[in-house]
Amino acid sequence: MRDGASLTLRINGRVVTVPVGTSVAAALALAGDFVSRGDLGGRPRGPLCGMGVCFECRATIDGVPEVLACLTPCRDGQEVVTDA
């Protein structure tokens, strides 16, 4: 990995640039949005454990629903959609 390298993805249609190696969950935080989904009552939920245990970071990534954002590295041109 080259120091200072970055990539660009879209989160809910918004263009976000992050360092290479960033997880999607971290990209949500860097974008200022810690919410990844809503619970059955509509309350906001977001990444909690950061290691694939809590399932609170689920998002639709490149059209695939319920992907764990904390275990998914960002890639250039990625499309992330949250349901919150």
Residues of the shown chain interacting with ligand FES in the complex, contacts defined by CB under 6 A: 25, 47-50, 52-57, 68, 70
Which residue's CB is nearer to ligand FES, number 56 or number 82?
56
Least distance CB 4 / ligand FES (angstroms) = 27
Least distance CB 77 / ligand FES (angstroms) = 22
Distance CA 37, CA 40 (A): 10
Least distance CB 46 / ligand FES (angstroms) = 8
Bridge-based pairing state of the strands 79-81 and 58-61: antiparallel
Give strand pairing partners of 67.
59
Locate 52 and state its tokens. Answer: 């694939």
> How many whole angstroms from its chain centre is CA 24?
3
Which residue's CB is nearer to ligand FES, number 2 or number 75?
75
